[in-house]
A and B are shown apart, each in its own frame.
Chain A
Amino acid sequence: MLLELKHLYIKLNDKKILDDFSLTIQPGEVHVIMGPNGTGKSTLSKVIMNHPAYHLEQGDIVWNGKSILSMSTDERAKLGIFLAMQDPLTIEGVSNSEFLRTALSEKEGKTVGIFEFLQEMNQAIQDLKMSDDMLHRSINQGFSGGERKKNEILQMKLLKPQLILLDEIDSGLDVDSLKIVCENINQYLNENPQASLLIITHYPRILDYIKPDYVHIMKDGKIQKTGDLSLAYEIEKTGYHGINDVSELASHE
């Protein structure tokens, strides 16, 4: 068992966002959570990483059998959880190279030499077809929406996580960039067959490139329905509004 989300409850401004949310992800699995905007998908991803604005009221998050609720964000990252964010921030004045080299050094537990670092970076930058000068620029400053998303995947390649959370990775990416990003993710999964992936998305477009083992439909704070890829395409056709009825019908059968 890699990650277990157990009966998570969260309220924001008195509104229930996660309402008895549970999900288990095994090593090597690819999961997709789909759901309408405002359902709490990004909230879920931030709770897993312990964002200070999102306090769990109840429930447990278990990593390889141990609760990680008392762990800070950086400690959770060091376990091997990586969140590619929906809206990666700009951080003025801190260069990408300084940021990434610090992150890599923290992971390795020693200061990573500049040559070793650059070698690794240059390969990843090429793989993602990014521009060379990005390393010297401030984090995401002046980056297009697509470049920001590629920068997330660059960080993923560098930090080599066991569990990747992709929050709306396809938003802001044009078709060519989406293809490049997905190729890099697929390559990573091939090279690391024990690595797991949780794709959070509103649109099934990304599923043309990355094939999931499970598709979950999230609504009203929990998973309402689980299926395979065909469920995602069904949603594309019929939309989300029928989902509650569908599960009701199913339970009446």
Chain B
Amino acid sequence: MNKITVERKKWESSLDSQVSYQDGQLVIEKSTTILFDCNNSTQPLSIVVKPNVQVSLIFQSIDTKQNITYEISENSQVEIQHLSVDGSDQVMIYLKGEQAKVSYYYSTINRKENTYSITVEHQAMKTESNIVNHGVNLNDNALRFIVNGIIPKQSIHSVCNQDTKIIARCANTSFIEPNLLIDTNEMEANHAAYIGRFPDSKVFYLMSRGIPLEKCYELLLEGFLLGNEKLEQSQKKWFFQYLKEQKGGKQNE
């Protein structure tokens, strides 16, 4: 698999011929999958997707503050699974050509103060974005999500779906700031936002089968963050260890 490792400012890659890296820009010409491993990085990333390709990107990132920009050309589809631990990244997505489509699943485990922002600009007709942001805030630090959707006049028949949720068990100062800037009626836009605990009814259902509270939370958190079927077991395991770590810490409090 194509792999890019970014540590601080150091950048290493093993890429096949479908992908080229030049002048800080990753250019994807053909359908492919790329795994990004970002650690403690502030390195900007620019990803250009040429027309008529299908791209799947997986991020595993810790302690990152990266500007990540996507330019997606006509008839291309990009699916991103972004697993993040303490991320303050700024993501900017331009849907540049007709029928360009992006699905962005961002899941984060938050232990410090972080602000994550994602903006999708629909620059052409019949473009589609599905943005799912799920965050778990493990302590009293703030997790902030800023989610922007921009649909100008010319981008008719576009679809912009945003679903943002933060689960916080402790008293928290987290917030979600959704902005939909829409200049046409001929489109579909949805934004759902939720900050809070898991509903009592769900916890009750699991507990009524003899599962203790802590274990119920583990199941619910895992489902909330890693519900996406397309992730591999090793990736899920990598991510989940950060929840377990915290749980051990909590019991000692």
B residues in contact with A155, CB < 8 Å: 209
Asked if A93 is at the interface (CB within 8 A of a chain B CB), the reply is: yes
Asked whether, in the complex, the Cβ of B226 is within 8 Å of the Cβ of A107, the reply is no
Asked whether, in the complex, the Cβ of A91 is within 8 Å of the Cβ of B202, the reply is yes
Asked whether, in the complex, the Cβ of A77 is within 8 Å of the Cβ of B210, the reply is yes
Please give the number of chain A residues whose Cβ is less than 8 angstroms from any Cβ of chain B in the complex. Answer: 29
- Bound Cα distance A94, B222 (Å): 7
| Complex interface: stretch among B58-66, B123-131, B188-196, B211-219 | B211-219
Q: Which of A81-102 contact B (CB under 8 A)?
A: 82-83, 85, 88-89, 91-94, 98-99, 102
Residue of B nearest to A76 (CB): B208
- Bound Cα distance A76, B157 (Å): 54
Known: A93-B227, A94-B220, A138-B227. A77 touches B207 (CB 8 A): yes
Residue of A nearest to B207 (CB): A73
Asked if A249 is at the interface (CB within 8 A of a chain B CB), the reply is: no
Asked whether, in the complex, the Cβ of B210 is within 8 Å of the Cβ of A91, the reply is no
Known: A93-B223, A102-B219, A138-B223. A107 touches B206 (CB 8 A): no
B residues in contact with A139, CB < 8 Å: 205
Interface string of A142-165 (1 = CB under 8 A from B): 000000000000010001000000
Asked if A66 is at the interface (CB within 8 A of a chain B CB), the reply is: no
Asked if A242 is at the interface (CB within 8 A of a chain B CB), the reply is: no
Q: How far is the CB of B101 from chain A (nearest CB, A)?
A: 23
Asked if B17 is at the interface (CB within 8 A of a chain A CB), the reply is: no
- Indicate which residue in B211, B213, B222, B223 contacts A103 across the interface (CB closer than 8 Å): B211
| Complex interface: stretch among A46-54, A186-194, A203-211 | A46-54
Asked if A72 is at the interface (CB within 8 A of a chain B CB), the reply is: yes
Asked if B204 is at the interface (CB within 8 A of a chain A CB), the reply is: yes
Residue of A nearest to B218 (CB): A102
Interface string of B43-62 (1 = CB under 8 A from A): 00000000000000000000
B residues in contact with A102, CB < 8 Å: 211, 215, 219
Where the two chains meet, the residues of A that have a C-beta atom closer than 8 Å to any C-beta of B are 46, 49, 51-53, 72-74, 77-78, 82-83, 85, 88-89, 91-94, 98-99, 102-103, 106-107, 138-139, 155, 159
Ordered nearest first, which 7 A-B pairs have the shortest CB separation?
Answer: A93-B227, A93-B223, A94-B223, A77-B210, A73-B207, A103-B209, A74-B207
